[in-house]
Structure 1
Amino acid sequence: MLKIVYPICCGIDVHKNFVVATIATTDRENITTYRTKRFSTFTKDLRALALWLSNNQCVHICIESTGKYWIPIHNILEPSCQITLAHPKYVKAIRGKKTDKKDSIWIADLHKHGLVPGSFIPPADIREIRDLLRYRSKLVSFASSEKNRVQNSLTVSNIMLSSVVSDTFGKSALAILSHLLKHPDDQDFDFRPLLHGSMLKKQNDIALAIDGTINDIQAVKITLCLSHMDDIKRSYVARGTAF
């Protein structure tokens, strides 16, 4: 017979709008009784879940990590319970007529024997930093995607700045691009005052590179992309201490 690791424990089957919790209580004769209740995922009901667990002296909880839906439950139960976050593959029930109640009982049965390996849950402050850094990574990815879109628009417009300059979004290149967007019919403008540093040595190549036409559609697309990039950059500056 398997050893009872947690005489009183709870298995929680998690869904978006509700959870089904089963408390498994095993006596000295290894007879287990079950009490099952369903709670909504509103905070008030989750607090009722925490109170129900406390009233039944249940502190060992096993939660199936379903998407992000387990996080609200974890937020409420973390201060008062010892939580094991289970990957779904480790608590998958045997095929058959499954119900939410049966699933929660199955999770509780596995947990009472200590058979569920828990996923690592970092401390709250680390979780917050990690969440922020993940979002920052997405913003960086968005900015890179917008740069690629601008470059594609320039290519289809026969503007080959990327073949001449090392950074299409450097100070000189952006100044030239800004002029082309504001004055699409000015093909022979004097761009030399817009050049800086090593760009001054590339005047002839730059003249050849900007010999193209940005039509209205591409101009709108480039303008929107540059605006989005500026918004992302401003978010970095505004939240510099956080990012």
Structure 2
Amino acid sequence: MIESLISTNADYENAVQLHSIPGFKHDSAFIIISEIGIDMSQFSSSKRLCCWAGLTPGSYKYDGKKKSIRITHAGVYLKPALIQCAHAAVKFDKSPYYKKKYESLVKRRGKKRAIIAIARMILTAIYQMLSTGEEWAPSDLYKIDMPETLVQKQKDKAIKQAMKPLQKEGLLPLNEPLAP
């Protein structure tokens, strides 16, 4: 019945293309779209959507000290669906993007926090897909919600690090300025 309702509306049919994300199936896409909808203009950024879904840690202030506490209790239906998708994405071998991210996070944060981080990454990708209409591309995920000045700093740092071996070999002068 849900599929017949979605097939009559072209906007929803395009939104169900979320199953291109590793770990997603049509059922997961139905649940997530029914919770957040397809209009992302109600959320000003992906951070707002993640906060609404309950995937961000709360903060607690007392005596001038800030403490980060557990994730919030929001997103009663959305959060479990995203966590289930995150578990599936971590085990998906055909596209190991989330698997590699999970493995690097587990070392530092632990299994449960790493799964929450992967669920948040997936929700950020969903926000991007629904707001721009693009398909899921793991190489572009680091650019989401990143200020332009930070992107430029990272590019300059990468160029500087790439020039160091050339300068050691004598192929470039030592104090040559970066080319724009």
Larger Rg: 1
Give the TM-score taking structure 1 as reference length: 0.22
Determine which structure has the larger helix proportion and give its number.
Answer: 2
TM-score after normalising by structure 2: 0.27
Which has the larger strand fraction? 1
